[in-house]
Each structure stands twice: as C-alpha cells, then as structure tokens.
Amino acid sequence: MIDPAHLGRTFGPYTVTVQHERIRRFAETLGLPERVYYDEAAAQAAGLPDLPAPPTLATCYGLWANPALLAELDSLGAPLLRLLHGEQSYVYHTPVFAGDTLTGAPAIAGLARKDGRRGPFQVLTLETRWRNQRGELAITDRLVVVVLGERA
Amino acid sequence: MSSFATYRVGDELPGFETEPLTPEWFGRYAIASGDHNPLHTDPAVGRAAGHGGVIAHGMLVMGLLSRVAAHLVGPGALQEFRTRFQEPTRPGDRLRCGGRITAIYERDGRTCIEAELWAIGQDGGTRASGSVVAVAPHQ
C-alpha cells in the first residue's frame, strides 16, 4: 500500500498524440457504430475538424496503458496485480480530435485506508487534467483504484 | 442519435445486448487500449487473483456503455461520463447495456440531459453502473 505522505504527489507530465489509427481501432473494438470515428470525410461532413475521440479514449493514455506510471506506483508499494479498477469518470471540457497532443500530470488526489473482510486495503484516486496543444483543459480524468493489502 | 426535444424524464435509452464476451475480445481490447494487465489475458493470473480465470477490463465495459451514451448525443456534446465497476465481468457473460433519462434542465440557455446507465449480466447482476451528462449542441 502507498504511504499517505504521497497524497498530492504528481507524476510525469506525460505527453501523447491522438492518432487516427488509435481512434479507429479503439472504436472498432468497442463496436461504436458512428462513421465519424472511422472516416475523416464523415467527420468533416458532421462539421468536425477530424476524427473525434470516443468518450473513453483517454484510457489509452491513462494508468493502465502507461508502463512508466505503473512502475511509479509499483515503487510506492502498489504493484499492478494488487490494483482493481473501482470507478472511472471523465469530465469533458474541450473536444479532442485526431492529431491533438495531450499533456497531463496524474496526481494522487485521494488515498484512504479501509478495513475489509479480507484485511486492510486502500482506495487510491488518481486525477489527470489533460491539456491540449493550445493549453486548453480538455479532459479531467479521475480513476478510483482499490489497492489490495498484502494479506488480501 | 436522437433529438433532445423528444426525450422525457424516465424514458429508456435504446440499449443493446452483447454477444457472449470472450477472452479473444479481451485480447483485442488489450491491444486497442494499450492495457496489457495480464489479469485480463492470462488465465493463471486471473485464477491466482481468485477470479477463476480472466476477467474483462472494466474499461471495456465502460466503453460498451459509451455506445448507449452515444445514442443520446453526438461526439462533443458529452459533459461528464462516470462508471462504477460493481462486480467482475467474465467470459461468457452477455451484457445488457441500457440507460434511462433522469433529468432534463436548462443551463446557460442550453438543454442539459442526465441519464443513468447500466450493464447487467445474464444472471441479473449489475456488472457496472454509470451516469452521463450531455448538453444539446448549439443550434
């Protein structure tokens, strides 16, 4: 589990570019039917500058897909195999499109110790405020993770 | 995508039922999302974690719920989207994904809609529940 002294700590920042192929493949795997996720012409016909980000695309840039961040948590006492995703929320401030560059520094926004039937565990909240290449706040990403204790 | 004007509080959103989920689908999702946690792809890891085998990525289930949210609005109109993962989703599960309008109101001269979302397994268990807030596009 993570020492409570790390509350407020940030990681990164990490910078990613939203790629067309990432959007297409992600949308396809989820079965999103809208053509705007696959076809630039369809996106433009809908008045969009490029392929839009599916609602959960930011997960491709978040904790689960970021080996460097996973390694940081591991070194703080929260290895991947003791993490369980409890909740996820996104607040959308500015639309994200293919070609955008997002930069975010995930922060430990919450760290609560709980006692369960199978022993103590921690509830870790990671918040990332992703800004685009123009410096605009694009997405606030909050992920609540259960960190299982050693005996669980 | 439906017109905001046609919705009333209590209306159900058009939902769908998935095909039975498969480890192969979890593998494709791992590649598409970059989430290579072996809990979702290696049965031995899933068993060691007490799940009896692999379980679905929570974010795969949230992604399926995003299809329901997409019935409500087009891209760019979502304001908030939240999901709580209630219990593991396993291979063979068929998820019934749906939602219901919980609130409609005006804010800053635009119509906002809130809806609750759910993903329910064939045994009636709620695998995930969520909520979405959307705003009508500028006319």
Q: pLDDT tens digits, residue range B63-86? A: 999 999 887 776 568 999 999 999
Annotated domain spans of chain A? 4-148
Q: How confident is the model at residue A117 (pLDDT cuts 50, 70, 90)?
A: confident
Per-residue tokens: A84: 């369980």
ipTM given for this complex: 0.96
The fold adopted by the segment(s) A4-148 is: Thiol Ester Dehydrase; Chain A (3.10.129)
Q: Indicate whether B34 belongs to any domain.
A: no
Q: Indicate whether B47 belongs to any domain.
A: no
Q: How confident is the model at residue A151 (pLDDT cuts 50, 70, 90)?
A: low
Amino acid B43: pLDDT: 96
Phi-psi map region of B55: left, alpha, beta (phi>0 left; psi -120 to 50 alpha):
beta
Does residue B41 register a pLDDT over 70?
yes
Amino acid B3: pLDDT: 60
Give residue ranges of B with CB < 8 Å to any A CB: 25, 28-29, 31-39, 45, 49, 57-60, 62-64, 66-67, 69-70, 74-76, 78-85
Amino acid A152: pLDDT: 46
Which residues, 6+ apart, have CB-to-CB distance to B99 below 8 Å?
B12, B13, B15, B65, B68, B69, B72, B115, B116, B117, B118, B132
DSSP run (H or E) holding B99: strand B96-107
Rounded to whole angstroms, the Cα distance separating A84 from B56 reads: 12
Read off the pTM: 0.95
Which residues face B118 on adjacent strands?
B98, B129
Q: Indicate whether B46 belongs to any domain.
A: no
Rounded to whole angstroms, the Cα distance separating A36 from A16 reads: 21
- Give pLDDT tens digits for A82-115: 999 999 999 999 999 999 999 999 999 999 999 9
Which domain, by its residues, includes B80?
A: 4-20+57-135
Give the count of domains, chain B. Answer: 1
Does residue A32 register a pLDDT over 50?
yes
Rounded to whole angstroms, the Cα distance separating A31 from A52 reads: 15
Q: Indicate whether B62 belongs to any domain.
A: yes
Maximum Cα interatomic distance, chain A, rounded to a whole number of Å: 56
Contact A90 B69 (CB under 8 A): no
For residue B19, which phi and psi values (nearest 5 degrees)?
A: -65, 160
Q: How confident is the model at residue B7 (pLDDT cuts 50, 70, 90)?
A: confident
Contact B83 A55 (CB under 8 A): no
Phi-psi map region of A119: left, alpha, beta (phi>0 left; psi -120 to 50 alpha):
left
Q: List the single range of A115-124, B3-12, B51-60 with lowest mean pLDDT.
A: B3-12
CA distance A10 to chain B (A): 21
Amino acid A110: pLDDT: 97
Contact B28 A29 (CB under 8 A): yes
Which CATH number fits the domain that encloses residue B78? Answer: 3.10.129.10
Compute the C-alpha angle A27/A28/A32, nearest 5°: 55
Rounded to whole angstroms, the Cα distance separating B22 from B41 reads: 10
Amino acid B1: pLDDT: 46
Rounded to whole angstroms, the Cα distance separating B56 from B109 reads: 41
Q: Does A58 touch chain B (CB under 8 A)?
A: no
Q: What radius of gyration, in Å, describes the C-alpha atoms of chain A?
A: 17
Q: Indicate whether B37 belongs to any domain.
A: no
